[in-house]
Amino acid sequence: MKLRLKTKLIFGLGFLFIVILLFGILGIFYINRLSSDTNNIIKNNYETLVYNNNMLKALEELPQNKKAVNDFDNNLKKQENNITEPGEKEATNDVRKNFEELKSDPSHLSNYIQIRQAIQVINDLNQNAILRKNAVAERTASDATFWLTIIFSVFSIIAFTLVFNIPEVIAAPIRALSEGISAISNKSYDKRIYLNQNDEFGDLANAFNIMAQKLDEYEHSNLAKIKFEKSRIETIINQMKDGIIGLDEKKNILFLNAVAEKLLGLKESEIIGKYTADIALKNDLMRTLLQNGNTNELKIYADNKESFFNKDVLDVTNNNEVIGQVIVLRNITPFHELNEAKTNFIATVSHELKTPISSIKMSAQLLADSRVSALTSDQKELLKSITDDSDRLLKITSELLNISQAETGNIQLKLQPVHPETIVEQALQAVLFQAQQKNIGIKKNIPVHLSFVQADAEKTSWVLINLLTNAIKYSHESSSIEISVTQKENKISFAVTDYGKGIEGKYLPKIFDRYFKVPGTYERSGTGLGLAISKEFIEAQGGIINVQSVLNEGSIFSFTLSAV
């Protein structure tokens, strides 16, 4: 049977506890017995002797002293209530009988003699009882002494054995483990611990031996192979086009690759092992890398031009403990240049397309005018299709122009004080026809006394129109939409609430991303740019845009701007 150390300690300490408990129980038992025996002697017999002595003293003064009569009678009553021995009741009754006769005829001398004789009988009975009960108490004390001595002797031997052995059970393995750890710290990896114990110390010794064996194998492994692997990794790192900087847990430089050397303008051999904060005092880029966490973009002058890098800080861990960091500077300049070319291309194409599309739309409007010519129903249908496609293309080109402005940072703002109701009214006028087509009611909730808002009225109205258009698009027919404006201190919030299909929570973080469409929506005219442009317009004005939505319950799109 495998006894764990915990079980051994429980057995040993449990035995000592049982010894203490047993001694306590036996001690209390015998003390109570002795106390009971002593109490019986005092209460039952000694008090009777006191009452009898008091009656004999009072009897000497009878019958002349009436007080003596009362004393005799009181002690006799007490004796009558304290009859404990065989024959004591009859003698007490004789005392009562003769005392009553003596009270009625004090001159009758025989009563005095009989009273004394009866009291003497009572005294003899109680004195004998005291001797008998004292013998019982002595036997009880002797038994207590005998049994407690035997139990004390046996348990003392067992407890002494436990006290002598238990510390050795714990101390010997600890001593052996301490010696083994000391040997390992001195790189004596051939040290082994052998404990003939099937407990935690035995498990610990086995684990120690396995550890020592692994360390011994590692110590005698092929160091040339390790050095080769180190050289191979260094070669790979130096061939990478990203800048890589290695730090230890104390933020000291471990290594730099060639790209990082070039970006920092420092040689690895010059700063290896140095504290990064000391290097940052004289190097702006190092200071920037230490001050910020992961950043989206860093602009660094490299390769004789402005280059762009993403910085990632990777923690190196061992057993969930951070033992160092690796800073990776990824060169995203080619992507940045491609993105800029794409933005310029979109802006150019959108601008160039806007004029011919407007001309197509105007021509379609002229053809639709009955004063110019009469059209057949088929021609009207084709003309309507041309008009719808022209509107869609104009909307797409306008959104592409807006997004290109946002990407290049060239958003032109005309900030001026505007009353919130003016912005709301402009937006409502633009979407009123769409709402009527679906029989959707729009409720306004605008307080009377509102401050002016510092905003670009045209772009803010555009954002509100976009939010209202989306609300109408995703609301059920004959439902309602709410537009509200609230002010809290120096902030004014616009909110559009609908009770349509709503958006799943997992899509909310991406709802303002460019070209993002919620899966399951198949609107042919949508580009996925409206909310992204809205976010750019609001943030360019120093505001914040938000969304709250519950699937199948509706959505609340809101944005906040500063009041004047």
SS3 string, 490-525, reads: CEEEEEEEECCCCCCHHHHHHCCCCCCCCCCCCCCC
Higher-scoring residue by pLDDT: 409, 365? 365
pLDDT at 451: 93
In three-state secondary structure terms, 416 is strand
Stretch (H or E) spanning 100: helix 88-104
Query: Would you say domain 337-408 falls under CATH 1.10.287?
Result: yes
Among the ranges given (26-40, 45-59, 427-441), the one the predictor scored with the smallest mean pLDDT: 26-40
For residue 168, give both structure tokens: 């050795």
Beta strands in 204-294 (DSSP E): 243-248, 253-256
Give mean pLDDT, residues 300-323: 78
- The residues, any chain, with a CB within 8 Å of residue 280's CB and separated by 6 or more, are 286, 287, 290
pLDDT in tens, 442-470: 999 999 889 999 998 888 998 999 999 99
Higher-scoring residue by pLDDT: 128, 187? 128
Q: How far apart are CA 409 and CA 58, in angstroms?
A: 127
pLDDT at 211: 80
User: Taking Cα atoms as reference points, which of 501, 493, 486, 491 lies closest to residue 463?
Assistant: 493
329: pLDDT strictly greater than 60:
yes
Which of 133-147, 212-226, 234-248, 482-496 shows the highest mean pLDDT?
A: 482-496
Which of 148-162, 200-214, 402-416, 536-550 shows the highest mean pLDDT?
A: 536-550
Among the ranges given (46-60, 240-254, 293-307), the one the predictor scored with the smallest mean pLDDT: 293-307
pLDDT at 129: 79
Q: Based on DSSP, count helices (H) and strands (E) in the chain, helices before strands.
A: 16, 12
Give mean pLDDT, residues 81-105: 82
370: pLDDT strictly greater than 70:
no
Tell me the pLDDT band of 276, cut-offs 50, 70 and 90: confident
Higher-scoring residue by pLDDT: 315, 216? 315
Higher-scoring residue by pLDDT: 136, 506? 506
The amino acid present at 446, given as its one-letter code, is: I
Q: What is the mean pLDDT of the chain?
A: 78
Tell me the pLDDT band of 53, cut-offs 50, 70 and 90: confident
Tell me whether the omega of the peptide bond preceding residue 509 falls within 30 degrees of 0, making it cis. Answer: no
When computed from its CA atoms, the radius of gyration of the chain, rounded to whole angstroms, is 54
CATH tag, 416-562: 3.30.565.10
Contacts 24+ apart (CB under 8 A), 458-461: 458/414, 459/411, 459/413, 459/537, 459/541, 460/418, 460/423, 460/537, 460/538, 460/541, 460/561, 461/423, 461/426, 461/427, 461/430
338: pLDDT strictly greater than 80:
no
pLDDT at 417: 93
pLDDT at 556: 96
pTM (2 decimals)?
A: 0.38
pLDDT at 347: 55
Among the ranges given (85-89, 168-172, 342-346, 457-461), the one the predictor scored with the smallest mean pLDDT: 342-346
CB 423 within 8 A of CB 457: yes
555: pLDDT strictly greater than 80:
yes
CATH tag, 224-331: 3.30.450.20
* Cα angle: 315, vertex 321, 327; to 5 degrees: 15
For residue 155, give both structure tokens: 């348990």
Beta strands in 358-451 (DSSP E): 416-418, 441-445
pLDDT in tens, 536-546: 889 988 999 99
Give mean pLDDT, residues 518-524: 65
pLDDT at 471: 94
- Helices 420-437 and 457-473 cross at an angle (nearest 10°) of 30
pLDDT in tens, 400-413: 666 566 555 566 77
Which of 210-214, 276-280, 519-523 shows the highest mean pLDDT?
A: 276-280
